[in-house]
Every structure is written in structure tokens, then in C-alpha cells.
Amino acid sequence: KAFAADNQYEKAGAKIMVRAEILQKAEVLLMINTPEPDVVDSKKENQIILSVVNPFFNKEVVEKLAANSKTVFSLDLIPRTSRAQSMDILSSMATIAGYKSVLESAMLLPHFFPMFMSAAGTIRPAKMLILGAGVAGLQAIATARKLGAVVEVFDVRSAVKEEVASLGGKFIEVEGAREEKSAGGYAVEQTEEFIQKQKQLIHDHAVKSNVVICTAQIPGRKAPLLIEKATVEAMKAGSVVV
């Protein structure tokens, strides 16, 4: 939520109207989430919609929007280039997600994040495993380190190793990862042999961790399932997976 009052919008020149009236009259709609049924089914022709549509996973929504003569710009498909950086909403939202994921895990973990030393003894810092070192992963590393956790990071892209180290994380990797420069900084699908090695490496580190945060993504596909049931069952009691 923006937590902006109606009078602030009016002061900026906007008119406060009910949702149904806006959908009927507006020629351009700007929204954050995937268009809801009342937007999709609106009979207002030649309407332009700027939104996070996730077209690869919302085929029916896209087809209905096209059938109702809507022009749609899916903001989540804006290329991640320096020229389009000011419109890159994914990076902005990923930064928030990475930051918030660490705070949520800190609230749920029955353990301190930083090391504590006292006359009664020493409490060791929490161990965290972060899967994926994209925008969300890097923000999670920075936040976790500020809270005093020991952070290990896995990513198939060797290029992010220096970024991880600069934030205080320890980079763990499986040799033989496939990378593509055309992927725009994202990870790409890997060979079956690599995936098996990857699963074992992640399992070995996850069972020693107090917190595991999954941020890995592949554009246009479902996020890879990197934590399996057997791994979760083998983790320490009270551990947190985000």
C-alpha cells in the first residue's frame, strides 16, 4: 500500500472515482497486479493496460484481454537493460522481497541471528543458505549479514561470485554449469547430470542451515524446485524455509 490519502491525489490533480466508473471511462489503466475479472471482462474498447500480467502463466487472461480489444503492456517483460532500468519493476519488487524474506525468517526462527557472548556462554550466529544471487538474493545477503547471520549462497552463474563475496556471503557452486549471455542475467536450464550434483550440494548445506531462502528463477518458466521433501525433513527442528 502507498498509504497516500485521497486529498493528496486530488491535490496532485486526480479525481477520486469508484472502481466501476474508472473501468468504464479510463482509456489507460495502470495497475500492479494481474488484471482482475472485472478489468478483463470490461467492454471498454481500445483500452490500454499497463500491468504485471505474467503472460506465460496467465494464458486465459491474455486471450480474454485480446478478445475484448485491449492493448496490454506486461511490465514484467521489460528487458533488464540499462536503457529500460527506470521502468524495471521486477528489480524494485525483488529488492523488497529479498529484504522482507530475511526479516520474516528472523521473526520465525527461534534463534538469534548474530553471535552473542556472555559470562553464561556463547551463542553461535544463525546459518543461512540463499539459493539464487539475483536482485532478491543479493538484497537478502546484505540484510542477513547486517543482522549478523553467517550466509552461504548458491547460484549456477559463476559471474555473481564476486558480488556475493563483496556482501560478505560465501559462494558455493557445482562445476559444469551451463550459462548463456543472451539470458539477460538470468539462470538457464541445466543438464540432468548437473541437476543431480546440484541437489546433493544443496541438501548437504541446507541440513546444516537454520534458514533457507529460495530466490532462484528462470524467465518464462516455473521457478526451479531446489529444496526437496527429504531435505526439509532432514533440516534442524525449528528451521525456516522462505
Q: Do residue 70 and residue 109 come from a single domain?
A: no
Reported for 51-54, long-range contacts at CB under 8 A and 24+ positions apart, including other chains, are 51/75, 52/76, 52/89
Residue 1 lies in a domain: no
Q: Is 200 considered catalytic here? A: no
Nearest by Cα to 153 from 170, 166, 176, 136: 170
Task: From the candidates 8, 85, 166, 196, give the one annotated as an active-site residue.
Answer: 85
Check pLDDT > 60 for residue 182: no
Give me the domain span that covers residue 58.
6-77
Q: Is residue 169 part of a domain?
A: yes
Pair 130, 101 in one domain: yes
Buried-state track 168-205, b at ≥16 Cβ within 10 A, e below 16: ebebbbbeebeeeeeeeebbeebeeebeeebbeebbeb
Which of these is catalytic: 51, 88, 139, 157? 88
Residue 230 inside a domain? The answer is yes
Is the pLDDT at 127 greater than 60? The verdict is: yes
Q: Are 62 and 170 within one domain? A: no
Residue 67 CB partners (closer than 8 Å, separation 6+): none
Write down the H helix ranges in 37-131: 37-40, 59-67, 89-108
Q: All 3 cell numbers of residue 119?
A: 559470562
Mean pLDDT of 148-158: 92
Residue 92 confidence (pLDDT) above 60: yes
49 and 119 inside one domain: no
Q: What is the CATH number of the domain that holds 94?
A: 3.40.50.720
Percent of the chain at pLDDT above 70?
Answer: 93
- pLDDT mean over 56-81: 89
Looking at the domain assignment, is residue 99 inside a domain?
yes
Give yes or no: residues 191 and 137 share one domain.
yes
Residues 215 and 149 in one domain: yes
Are residues 128 and 112 in contact, defined by beta-carbon separation less than 8 angstroms?
no
What is the average pLDDT across 210-225?
A: 87
Same domain, 155 and 48: no
Mean pLDDT over each residue of the chain, to the nearest integer:
89
Q: Which of the following is catalytic: 76, 80, 99, 145?
A: 80
Based on the residue annotation, tell me whether 80 is a catalytic residue of this protein: yes
Of the residues 48, 77, 106, the one at which a domain ends: 77
Q: Does 211 lie in the same domain as 110?
A: yes
Asked whether residue 180 carries a pLDDT value surpassing 60, the answer given is no
89-108 vs 135-146: helix crossing angle, rounded to 10: 40
Task: Assess whether 46 and 127 both reside in one domain.
Answer: no
CA distance 42 to 190: 42
Q: Which residues contact 11 (CB under 8 A, 6 or more apart)?
A: none
* Mean pLDDT value of segment 207-212: 96
| pLDDT the model gives residue 187 | 57
Q: Does one domain contain both 12 and 90?
A: no
Is 234 part of a structural domain of the chain? yes
Residue 187: partners with Cβ closer than 8 Å, 6 or more residues away: 132, 155, 156, 157, 216, 217, 218, 224
Task: Indicate the number of domains in the chain.
Answer: 2
Confidence of residue 177 (pLDDT cuts 50, 70, 90): low
* 151 falls within a domain: yes
Examine the domain organization and report whether 221 and 118 are in the same domain: yes
Catalytic one among 76, 91, 99, 145? Answer: 91
pLDDT in tens, 1-16: 778 899 999 999 999 9
Last residue of a domain, one of 58, 77, 96: 77
88 assigned to active site? yes
Residue written as cell 523488497? 96
| Residue whose entry in the numeric block shows the C-alpha cell 525456516 | 240
pTM over 0.85: no
Together in a domain, 25 and 44: yes
Give the domain-ending residue among 44, 77, 110: 77
